[in-house]
Amino acid sequence: MLKFALIGAGRIGKMHSEIITSNPETELKFVYDLNREIAINVASISKAEVVNNPEEAINSNTTDAVLIASATPTHIEFIKMAANAGKPVLCEKPIDLDIIKVNKCREELKGIKSQIQIGFNRRFDLSHSKAQQARLKKEIGELEMIIITSRDPAAPGLDYLKACGGFFRDTTIHDFDLSRFILGEDPIVEVSAFGENLFDANVKTAKDFDTAMFILKSKSGVLIHINNSRRAVYGYDQRVEVFGSKGMVISNNQTPNSTERYTSSSTSSKDPIHFFFIERYQQAYKDQLNSFIETVKTNSRPKVTFEDGRKALIIANAAYESYKNKRTVEIKYD
Ligand SMILES: NC(=O)c1ccc[n+]([C@@H]2O[C@H](COP(=O)([O-])OP(=O)(O)OC[C@H]3O[C@@H](n4cnc5c(N)ncnc54)[C@H](O)[C@@H]3O)[C@@H](O)[C@H]2O)c1
């Protein structure tokens, strides 16, 4: 039984606590959140212990692994704390918003043998990973294009928008990572980014975008298109198209069930698509944890590494540079 300390018990932390508690191989032992009430609420559901500081949770002899789901600017502090205590880490994306801090952390961790997995959950989605497998096995011949549509049902509130580090680093970072996952060894080398504020007043106040489009290019010449919106009235729109010389694979939107209705007034009407990430990627979050458990048990390399998190942030930063300077930007990973 792998015993977890959970750091951060907000929206996604609560979901992780439920997944840890329902997994037969894991147990939630400690919860720490800056907001004690939030920690108490989550801990009581999982019968875990609330602690007064992160050290108590992370350094405890009882703790086998640490799940970091606190606010983004705190991730590096807790990654280092866990790594120094010799505990494997599953940390939510992004590692941080500041690449200088991420690079410094990478240097500091160099001598330390630590397993750090970054929470790019979409890699564990069954239909997205089937699309990636089709590319790997050359079922679609030579890969030529990747098209990712990723639109949220509604924009978050102003507080979140002000703190999240901007649309590209907060949201598109998932799509940058998913593109890298599908491309495999073929690195993304160029990006052209466009962002607009078309409809959301809070987004405008936060000086962010609610609508964005990107064209990226890989070293071998694969072209990638990503489009994002903070508002899709029909739900959480998540589609991936992988196109090659021998065909294409589409990972499409999913509905909670596949029931079709046939009545005198309509036929084949489907349920709306999933509302948001917790519903749509529930299986992926569970498989992400299963993959992490396997990594710890076999003492192997995580499926999504610190370096994957670092590279996705570098692409996001290059996208901002592209937007700002109205030109295509070459991406360098060093
Ligand atoms: N992988 C995904 O699909 C996904 C989805 C949502 C959020 N996230 C990421 O998860 C993280 C949390 O996001 P959220 O939506 O749950 O936010 P949230 O605001 O709901 O929760 C964050 C929690 O962290 C706590 N916190 C802040 N500083 C802390 C500190 N120093 N020590 C301990 N706890 C602290 C807050 O009190 C809060 O309860 C962010 O990094 C976000 O980017 C990932």
68 lines ligand 1 (CB under 6 A): no
Q: How far is the CA of 7 from the centre of ligand 1 (A)?
A: 9
**Predicted pLDDT at 251:** 97
Question: Which superfamily does CATH assign the domain made up of 123-281+311-330 to?
Answer: Dihydrodipicolinate Reductase; domain 2 (3.30.360.10)
Q: What is residue 276's predicted lDDT score, i.e. its pLDDT?
A: 93
Domain regions of the chain by residue span:
2-114, 123-281+311-330
Q: Is 209 left (phi over 0), alpha (psi -120 to 50) or beta?
A: beta
How far is the CA of 255 from the CAs of 213, 249, 252, 260, 270, in angstroms? 25, 19, 10, 11, 8
Distance CA 138, CA 233 (A): 36
Give the DSSP H or E segment for 188: strand 188-196
Is 1.10.150.120 the CATH classification of the domain at 2-114?
Answer: no
The answer to whether residues 90 and 289 touch, using CB atoms and an 8 Å cutoff, is yes
How would you write the pLDDT of the chain (334 residues) with one tens digit per residue?
A: 999 999 999 999 999 999 999 999 999 999 999 999 999 999 999 999 999 999 999 999 999 999 999 999 999 999 999 999 999 999 999 999 999 999 999 999 998 988 999 999 999 999 999 999 999 999 999 999 999 999 999 999 999 999 999 999 999 999 999 999 999 999 999 999 999 999 999 999 999 999 999 999 999 999 999 999 999 999 999 999 999 999 999 999 998 887 888 888 888 777 788 999 999 999 999 999 999 999 999 999 999 999 999 999 999 999 999 999 999 999 999 8
Question: Is the distance from the beta carbon of residue 289 to the nearest atom of ligand 1 less than 6 Å?
Answer: no
Q: Look at residue 111 in the predicted model and tell me its pLDDT.
A: 87
- Give 267 Cα–ligand 1 centroid separation in angstroms: 42
88 lines ligand 1 (CB under 6 A): no
Ligand 1 and 248: CB distance under 6 A: no
pTM of the model: 0.94
State which H helix or E strand residue 290 sits in: helix 282-298
pLDDT reported for residue 259: 81
How many Cα atoms occupy the beta-carbon half-sphere of 227 within 13 Å? 7
Q: Would the CA dihedral through 187, 192, 194, 195 be positive or negative?
A: positive
123-281+311-330 and 2-114 share a CATH fold: no
Per-residue pLDDT at 263: 84
* CA 72 to ligand 1: nearest atom: 41
CB burial class (10 A; 0-12, 13-18, 19+) of residue 45? middle
pLDDT score at 52:
96
pLDDT at position 268 is 78
User: Rounded CA gap, 58 and 67, in Å?
Assistant: 10
DSSP annotation string for 197-224: --S-HHHHHTT--SEEEEEEEETT--EE
